[in-house]
Amino acid sequence: MHSFLSVAVQFIFAAQLFASIHSSSRTTEEAGNNFEFNERISCFQCCERYISKSYFTEYEILLDSNFQDFLARKLHPDPVQTFVRILDLQRHLIGEGSHRHLSSSIRFSIQPDNISDLSMKCCEIIIIERLPSGVYADPFELEHLLQCAVFKDVAVFGDTNLELPSFLSNQSTVEVHMDATLNISSGQKNTLDLKIEIPLHARYPPLQESGYSRVRFGTPDLLMQCSIGGMIPYQNCTLMPISGVSDPQPEALVWSIPSGIKSHAGFVSVVTFASALLSAILITIASLQLSRSHEILKHA
């Protein structure tokens, strides 16, 4: 009996020792992961997380002129600091119907003399899409894509009411952040390729004679944000514009959204009213007949 208790005590002690070692190893691993995560977050801790959020703290609605003035105040005043330029910008609408994806393929040129500097800085590319009032981006859908690591960061600002028709809604912005240091093409160390797809949805359009409401997309705002130094408290956030050699403006994308035909409005209204009136009459007749049947059954 004594030997049995001794073996049991030794077994319990060994189990506790193993659990303690496993817990310590797991804690060390989690601490390492948290350190890497915190180091990445601290890189931009002194920077504004979203440029668009700052805009909407000053303005209630999105106007292109106000937004351009706002960006001009935010951007770094020294153009020499812009070491990234656009080589190519291709934009397409993917899909059919009222749900599309706005696809943008962008190739950047990094100045060879600054490649080593880019690797030593925390840099990210910011793409700001100014959406027209006829379309919207679902914040919950973008949040799901963010959780799947499709983007480094993404958010929607402005009119995020998904139920409003286009004639009652205002413009909104989708701000996408992409890591500038993890997308350098192999074999072409002086170029950087990005491709993003933003899911969009059409709002209910107003009546049009052609039967289609056309929504036009302008060129996105492309910015480079770098945290020079990378260590608190010496880091310095710099926001720079990204432009092409001759500032190429691609053709505006047009989304033709099906809408009601304006000349058919009177006919549709008459048919709708007649259908509603007929339905109400039929429901009333059915109710009266059902009540009469119940009275007959009671007296039977």
More confident residue, 136 or 28: 136
Residue 297 one-letter amino acid: L
pLDDT band at 171 (very low <50, low <70, confident <90, very high): very high
pLDDT number for residue 233: 42
Q: For residues 19 and 36, give the distance between their C-alpha atoms in angstroms, rounded to a whole number.
A: 26
216 near 23, Cβ under 8 Å?
no
Average pLDDT of the chain, as a whole number: 78
H/E run at residue 270: helix 265-299
Q: Give the model confidence (pLDDT) of 245-287 as tens digits.
A: 545 556 778 999 888 887 787 888 899 999 999 999 999 999 9
Place of tokens 């973008």: 142
Per-residue pLDDT at 126 exceeds 50: yes
Q: 239: number of CA atoms within 13 Å, CB side? A: 19
The structure tokens listed for 282 are 């039929």
pLDDT number for residue 100: 94
Q: For residues 66 and 84, give the distance between their C-alpha atoms in angstroms, rounded to a whole number.
A: 25
Q: Give the model confidence (pLDDT) of 92-114 as tens digits.
A: 999 988 899 999 999 988 765 65
Q: C-alpha distances in angstroms, 74 versus 71, 221, 254?
A: 5, 13, 30
255 near 100, Cβ under 8 Å?
yes
Could you check whether the bond before residue 233 is cis, i.e. omega within 30 degrees of 0?
yes
153 near 146, Cβ under 8 Å?
yes
Per-residue pLDDT at 146 exceeds 90: yes
Q: Give the model confidence (pLDDT) of 210-255 as tens digits.
A: 888 899 999 999 998 877 654 444 356 778 888 775 455 567 789 9
pLDDT band at 25 (very low <50, low <70, confident <90, very high): very low
What do you get for the CA distance between the two ends of the chain, in Å? 88
Number of residues written out for the chain = 300
Least trusted range by pLDDT, from 60-69, 128-137, 237-246: 237-246
Q: Who's near 115: CB < 8 A, 6+ residues apart?
A: 189, 190
Q: C-alpha distances in angstroms, 98 versus 37, 204, 251?
A: 38, 9, 22
Three-state secondary-structure class, residue 226: strand
Cα torsion at 67, 101, 157, 219 (round to 10°)? Answer: -10
Phi and psi at residue 98, to the nearest 5°? -90, 5
More confident residue, 93 or 14: 93
Place of tokens 């890591």: 179
DSSP state, 204? P
pLDDT number for residue 224: 87
pLDDT band at 208 (very low <50, low <70, confident <90, very high): confident
